[in-house]
Chain A
Amino acid sequence: MLNKKITAIFITVAFILCGGIALAAESTTLKIIPAKLGIGTFFAGEDVALSGSLPSDGDIIIEVIGPQENAKFNIKGRVGPFWMNRAKVVLQNVPFLYVLLLPGEKKWEQLPPSLELGVQHLKQDIGIIPESLDREKIFEQFIQLKRFEHLYLQKENTIHYSRVSQGGKIFTATFHFPSSTTPGEYRFATTLLQADRVVKRSVHPFQVEEVGVIKTIHELAYHQELIYGILCVVIALFVGAVIGLVFVRAAAH
């Protein structure tokens, strides 16, 4: 928690010193630290610091959008006394993760549809196959599942402003990439509002990639499948035998 505050203060000071405020009156910028995220062996989720400038009478909303995927699901239904998988459905172009970061100075209970933001807005871009299925029902079930996994969220009071001179202000926010983050191209999409109307939108790509041993294992499993499978068996046999021997020797003493 203390680390997050220190990072936010540091970014704010650095931004002012760099003269970022000169840009503030007319546009938004977004600075992302670190510039990309590496998933290594001990990855347990990681914070990313976001900051930028905007006009003093403006508001900023940030969407964190995960890599697009075609997600396949079973649909359960009741037959007699039993619940069983009755059909399959593919949801096309769904982001793996969707988090909406909102500033704290306003109440954001219901986002106006005109802003074209939030989970409900995703619906129009998502394809459902087969099309004969009840689109609304499937989408609601999908959102429920994603919310349960903490992958589709709306976080209020996560963007903080600090007022500076020349009609501009600085915003800072911290986004925590969860431990279930998958590699791929994420996007930070900023929406600048003035008088509750959208003034400007911009998208900032953000790369999340596997590094080190994790990357090596993943590449071996996907490009040398047979060798990988045999290696898995050989190492398992070796570990099993070594532990077996250790126990036999321990019992002998």
Chain B
Amino acid sequence: MWHIYLPIAQHSVLLPVIIGLGFLVGLLSGLFGVGGGFLMTPLLIMIGIPPTVAAASDSNQIVAASASGTYAHYRLGNVDFKMGIYLLIGGVLGGTGGVQIIKVLRQLGNADFLIQITYVVMLAVVGSYMFMESLQSLRSSKSEDTTPAKQKQSIYARLIGSLPWQTRFKRSGIVLSPVVPLVLGGFVGILAAIMGVGGGFIMVPIMIYLLRMPMHVVVGTSLFQILFTCINVTIMQAYSNRTVDFVLALLLLVGSTIGAQVGAKLSKRLKADQLKIFLASIVLIVMVKMLAGLLLHPHFLLSYYGGD
């Protein structure tokens, strides 16, 4: 009775395990505004779901989790729709370009390794920077922390300040050229397409450090952008590869939507720096796990095609 059969994965799974996994990843989604694909897909593979089905079904469940999370953050006034739309346009254009890049890489050979090493480097840079910066910020006193921030932003701030079409993003409380979110969204889209993930874990640090958006608006806006990215991925995967397992996605999303709501509430209680340190720690743990996978002797020299 506790088992359920997945029609596309063609595998029987334990109900509490799948719902529990969904809750855990939904919690992260609500807390940090990340889709959680970078964490969920490896966990599903570990319990025996074929990698292609795991990735596609995860996108399907992220649609529900991010819809639920976006709604919760919208109610709290944490979604900058204007910024989200610019990032989304950039992301779609970048993602389309990224798909072409990955085709060329595969023809050249060793694309899989290049993807994994890009992943490790990105995770290491983003995770370490966030961790160090948040730690410093937590340690420094309130009176001290305004001066160095102003000094740091000088060159970058002058550069983006010189761009045309400066627009006010009311919800984020910043003035910026739309070129910046379009270009940065495009960059994340390229990386997301190459790595095969939604890109939330790259988008969030970019919003914090390069767009200088407030942390609570970052989470809601990131979820808004992820929602549309994953709708596109789900339909494309179902149509082209027939790898979306609806039963798996439904079970995951029951857990994840509840987890996302709990996460959104928790995020209001935590300080921005605490949130950043938690996210940085998770990013660094995933990076170490991936690096270990590249350096340690694998248990099996054969792996199913489409897997890692």
Interface set of A (CB-CB < 8 Å, partner B):
39-45, 71-77, 79, 81-85, 88-89, 138, 141-142, 144-145, 148-149, 179-180, 182-183, 210, 214-215, 217-218, 221-222, 225-226, 228-233, 235-237, 239-241, 243-245, 247-248, 251
Contacts and interface: CB of A to CB of B under 8 A. Distances in A.
Interface stretch (B138-146, B203-211, B274-282, B298-306): B298-306
A180 B53 CA distance: 15
Nearest to B57: A232
Most chain-B CB neighbours within 10 Å: which of A42, A210, A225, A247? Answer: A247
Given A236-B253, A239-B250, A230 B235 contact: yes
A22 B103 CA distance: 66
Contacts of A218: 7-8
A232 B294 CA distance: 35
Interface of B: 1-5, 7-8, 10-13, 48, 60-61, 63-68, 71-72, 75, 110, 112-113, 116-117, 231, 234-240, 242, 244, 246-247, 249-250, 253-254, 257-258, 261, 265, 293-307
A123 to B, nearest CB: 15
Given A183-B10, A221-B7, A241-B67, A229 B303 contact: no
A239 B297 CA distance: 43
B31 to A, nearest CB: 15
A75 B72 CA distance: 45
A244 B71 CA distance: 7
Identify the 3 closest CB pairs spanning chains A and B, nearest first: A229-B238, A240-B67, A44-B3
A170 to B, nearest CB: 32
A75 B304 CA distance: 9
Contacts of B299: 148
B10 A226 contact: no
Contact of B257 (A81, A180, A240, A251): A240
Given A225-B242, A240-B63, A142 B302 contact: yes
